[in-house]
C-alpha cells in the first residue's frame, strides 16, 4: 500500500475532531473510532483522572499492555504450529514406513 491508497476520514474521540488517513475504508475507521471511544470512556470511569492527557496516557499504557500480551500469544501459537507440523511430518513418515514395510517396498 502506498500513500495513494489512503483516504481521509474525520473521527471524533473524547469530543475532539481528528483527520486520519487510512487504506482500510470507512467501516474499519468507524470501528476503530468506536473502540477507541469505548476504551477512553472505560478508563475515565475506572480512574479518578480528569486530565485528557493523563487519560490518553493511561489508555496508551493499556494498549501497550494489550499489544505485548497479543505478541506473546502469537509467539506461543507460532511455536505450537511448528510443533504440530513436526509431529504431523513424523506421523506421516511413520505411516509411510509402515505402509512400505507391509508392501515389501
Q: What is the pLDDT along the chain (105 residues), one digit of tens a residue?
A: 566 689 999 999 988 999 999 999 999 999 999 999 999 999 999 999 889 899 999 999 999 999 999 999 999 999 999 999 999 999 999 999 988 887 765
What does the pLDDT read at residue 104? 64
Q: Is the dihedral of CA 62, 64, 70, 72 positive or negative?
A: negative
Number of structural domains the chain divides into: 1
Domain that holds residue 73: 3-103
- 10 Å Cβ neighbour count for 37? 15
- Let me know how long the chain is: 105
Whole-model pTM? Answer: 0.69
For residue 98, the Cα-to-chain-centroid distance in whole angstroms is 43
Amino acid at each position: 500500500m502506498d500513500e495513494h491508497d489512503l483516504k481521509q476520514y474525520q473521527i471524533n474521540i473524547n469530543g475532539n475532531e481528528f483527520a486520519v488517513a487510512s487504506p482500510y475504508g470507512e467501516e474499519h475507521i468507524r470501528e476503530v473510532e468506536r473502540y477507541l471511544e469505548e476504551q477512553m470512556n472505560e478508563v475515565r470511569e475506572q480512574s479518578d483522572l480528569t486530565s485528557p492527557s493523563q487519560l490518553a496516557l493511561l489508555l496508551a499504557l493499556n494498549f501497550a499492555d494489550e499489544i505485548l500480551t497479543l505478541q506473546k500469544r502469537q509467539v506461543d501459537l507460532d511455536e505450537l504450529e511448528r510443533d504440530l507440523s513436526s509431529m504431523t511430518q513424523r506421523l506421516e513418515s511413520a505411516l509411510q514406513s509402515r505402509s512400505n514395510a507391509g508392501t515389501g517396498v
